[in-house]
Amino acid sequence: MGHDLSGMKTAEGIRILERVRSICLNFPEVEELIDGHGHTTFKASGKSFIMMGEHNGATLTFKSDLEN
């Protein structure tokens, strides 16, 4: 069974994605893409910093170092 690669689908997921997108795309060098597992991913300078997906509800993961 393959992964669904189309990103957010539920009304909740789409609402959260639109809000995150409105913030993230204002930063320089940020791009939005769907990764190989179907997660909506935001990258800056080629490095992921937010990953979003849906499995039993919408999930939002922030990638950061320990200081942040």
User: What pairs with residue 43 in β-bridges?
Assistant: 31, 48
Phi (first) and psi of residue 65, to 5 degrees: -90, 175
63 C-beta neighbours (distance < 10 Å), count:
13
Give, for all 68 residues of the chain, the pLDDT tens digit: 455 556 888 889 899 999 999 999 999 999 999 988 889 999 999 999 999 998 778 888 988 877 76
Token pair, residue 45, equals: 């300078």
The pLDDT value recorded for residue 68 is: 62
User: What pairs with residue 31 in β-bridges?
Assistant: 43
The pLDDT value recorded for residue 1 is: 43
Token pair, residue 19, equals: 């809000």
- Taking the model in full, what pTM does it have? 0.81
